[in-house]
Structure 1
Amino acid sequence: MDYLFNSCPEIEEIKEDLQNNRLDSAAEKTQQFVNKQNNVPLNIGITGESGSGKSTFVNAFRGITNSDEGAAPTGVVETTSEVTPYPHPNYPNVTLWDLPGIGTTRFPADKYLKLVEFEKFDFFIIISETRFRENDVKLAQEIQKMGKKFYFVRSKIDNDVRSEKRSQREFNEETTLAQIRENCIKGLQKQDFETSQVFLVSSFDLHLYDFRLLEETLERELPEHKRNALLFAVPGVSMEIINKKKEALQSQIKYYALLSAGVGAVPVPGVSLVADIAIIVGVVTKYVFAFGLDIPSLKRLAQTTGVPYEDLINVIISPLAATTITTDLIIKVLQSLGSTAALIAAEEGCRFIPVLGIPLAMGLSFTSTYRILSAFLDMLANDAHRVFKKALGLNTSV
């Protein structure tokens, strides 16, 4: 197993710090190693004609409301006059760029892509509140020529559904949505643009309509190394998204366990635990953010759904949610996991065994870290299920 770590400079630096009893430095570098895994950049361009709901979509995608600090400004007139980045509050490597409306005086259609610096975006979302117009089609054609992905999103669907419900004696939501989708597709076809997919989205109710389908499509068509960046940043607005987040996080645990085992190879009794705890603190913090179980995210969820914050907190069982993940908290929770605590103690005991002690300690370090992170991930995923169901007024049993 050791060859896996000799090729990793970060591990070697951590080993050196531990061997020289620089425990604070070792813990800090271990945390930096964990954080580095979350820094794959993803840049999403949100564009369309002025007033189409771009800024509200940017805010909703980032899990914040229009009134939150750092929100993209919204209004009944064009509020975006320049290319403006809006990093995700929990994943700053994911940035949504609120682009000025195409066809405005400052951003004419024929020069639009050059002016917004087309090259830096991974893909574009083209938004319209009614039907897609000539400028939207021109933009899609230019993006297509340059070999990048784009997606048509028909916004403000909640307004259309409410209007139809009031005006029709026998209202059927599925029929209304199908008609809106078909009308958008036919409108694009009339402008000589062939597409079979338009996503219907309400930025105020992402759990409804086509947002989950949009997320699935984006994830499927992104390069593999960018998929998790999108998945972790997107709001957990469906059970499917929550489960996919858990699956992706579970697949990463072996790497953190290997990191733990590599540090466990250092023949200094007691200090491996310092690095292990630093790894666990960083990874569990990532879990909390991915599932939206941090306090700011829960408060925003309460605000957008109308479910009191206290009611959301009351369905949480794990001590790891709705709090700050600290070393003391992790140690306290570990003490309640008897079998895992025994593994950690056995790891330290192995160090005193001649010749075979260090390899045994490495194996036990891998096993204990893997079990701990798996158990904590299960706890938080179950809490995310309960919170999601409570927010939607569903049965909160998992």
Structure 2
Amino acid sequence: MADQQDDVCALLNHADEPGLERAIAKARELVDRLDNVVLNIAVTGAAGAGKSTFVNAFRGLSDTDEGAAPTGETETTMEIRAYPHPTMPNVKIWDLPGIGTKNFKAKTYVKDVKLQNYDFFIIVSEKRFREYDIMLAKEIQKNKKNFYFIRSMIDQDIANAERRGVTENDTLQKIKNDCQENLRELGSPPVFLISSLYLGRFDFSELLSALETDLPDRKSDALVRSLPVYSRQCLEKKYNTFQKAVWALAVVSGGIAAAPVPGLSAACDVAMVATFFTTCYRSFGLDDNSLTKLGMRVDKPILQMVKESKLVQAIAGKTFLSSQFVARLGAAGIIESVCSLVPVAGNIAAAGVSFATTRSVLLEGLKELYRVALQVIEMAELT
């Protein structure tokens, strides 16, 4: 019992709040923020700039997938349209018509697109940024929002330049210099060179780092969790974000165990752990659809290799938890029930057992899913 009381004391100290109830309330707030935070990303640019392809890539989709934003050389975005993230519906990428198009005149564009509805703007161009793009950036600044310039289709520029004998580094530097000169009246803000077909190359990681720095913590975490796994660095960011949730979920588990309701804690723990693992599984790109597409792209049997993990098998089979985790949570529930028979001290001991067991199970499962996802990245050679 002393060990369990030590766990609760550590829990309270880490919360930096006096009292179990306040710690639980703080943990519940964190869990709610992680699961329900709303993030609205606006993407705009001229016709043919590649903004719809970028919207699809950001959501982990190809242009031909069901639910993908329509793409084309002409203006395919004729109205404001939201594209919810496939596994995180509270994260929405808004494909906006370009400023100065037929139905969205420059003078009324800010009002027409309801600028205040978005957390930040991504302005996409495949060549030079236009006068209208600069005008929009100035309006975004006035409304105290952030904007990020993306120069798209960089892979095509490099391929074209290499046929003329120009190196990749020289091409990238020239494009960046030209763009910053083009945007001089805005103070030459950073321009991120992106290929939507190869997110792991060029400046996508730098764009992500800028977004993480500028966004509030809760929205930054939602952004990271929603990204497709395009590199080892991206996977590690996701892993670190999910680690933040482990402690909060364990605290909530301890609070439920302290309530004198037989069987409640074990049932809630199983549900919380299963939901957490399923979220990680999808965010890490371990679902069948994601792995099948990746396997076809790299011509390797990735799906079969992943299914060797018992936890992945359980989630894919919709049993959600492997047998050893269910057994540990069940055993903890029995101990908690016995502890709760002892007034006050028993409730504290039950909270400690639940906190320690849930935290251990969550961390082990998270590490297992991370290990499998890392194997996928290595096999697919996504450095």
Mark yes or no: TM-score above 0.5: yes
Give the deviation of 1:375 after TM superposition.
0.5
Contact 2:266 2:332 in 1 (8 A): no
The amino acid of 1:390's aligned partner reads M
Identify the match of residue 202 of structure 2 among 204, 209, 228.
209
Identify the match of residue 59 of structure 1 among 56, 60, 67.
56
The amino acid of 1:178's aligned partner reads Q
CA distance in 2, matches of 1:79, 1:323: 41
CA distance in 2, matches of 1:165, 1:42: 39
Rate the CA distance shift 1:257–1:206 in 2: closer, same or farther, 3 A: same
CA distance in 2, matches of 1:138, 1:295: 44
The amino acid of 1:365's aligned partner reads S
Identify the match of residue 295 of structure 1 among 285, 288, 291.
288
Aligned to 2:176: 181
CA distance in 2, matches of 1:350, 1:327: 32
| CA distances 1:7-31 after superposition (whole Å, capped 9, x unpaired) | 69x89xxxxxxxxxxxxxxxxxxxx
Specify which structure has the bigger relative contact order, considering alpha-carbon pairs within 8 angstroms and separated by 6 or more residues: 2
Rate the CA distance shift 1:332–1:156 in 2: closer, same or farther, 3 A: same
Give the deviation of 1:87 after TM superposition.
0.5
The amino acid of 1:66's aligned partner reads D
Aligned to 2:325: 334
Contact 1:125 1:152 in 2 (8 A): yes
Aligned to 1:152: 149
Aligned to 2:81: 84
Rate the CA distance shift 1:246–1:103 in 2: closer, same or farther, 3 A: same
Give the deviation of 1:328 after TM superposition.
4.3
Identify the match of residue 378 of structure 2 among 374, 381, 389.
389
Rate the CA distance shift 1:199–1:242 in 2: closer, same or farther, 3 A: same
CA distance in 2, matches of 1:81, 1:151: 22
- TM-score with structure 2 setting the length: 0.87
| CA distances 1:354-396 after superposition (whole Å, capped 9, x unpaired) | 65332211100000000000001111111111111222277xx
3-state SS, counterpart of residue 4 of structure 1: helix
Contact 1:284 1:325 in 2 (8 A): no
CA distance in 2, matches of 1:61, 1:316: 26
Rate the CA distance shift 1:219–1:307 in 2: closer, same or farther, 3 A: farther
Contact 2:126 2:152 in 1 (8 A): yes
Contact 1:45 1:123 in 2 (8 A): yes
The amino acid of 2:21's aligned partner reads Y
Unmatched segments (≥5 aa) in structure 2: 1-18
3-state SS, counterpart of residue 153 of structure 1: strand
Give the length in aligned residue pairs.
365
1:95-244 mapped onto 2 (5 Å cutoff): 95-168=92-165, 171-189=166-184, 192-244=185-237
3-state SS, counterpart of residue 315 of structure 2: coil
3-state SS, counterpart of residue 50 of structure 1: coil
CA distance in 2, matches of 1:322, 1:215: 31
The amino acid of 2:217's aligned partner reads E
Unmatched segments (≥5 aa) in structure 1: 12-32
**Percent of aligned pairs sharing the same letter:** 40
Aligned to 2:302: 311
CA distance in 2, matches of 1:344, 1:332: 15
Structure 1 runs of 4+ aligned residues shifted over 4 Å read: 5-8, 33-36, 325-329, 340-345, 352-355
Moved more, 313-322 or 372-381: 313-322
The amino acid of 2:370's aligned partner reads A
Contact 1:62 1:89 in 2 (8 A): yes
- 2:21 corresponds to 1:3: yes
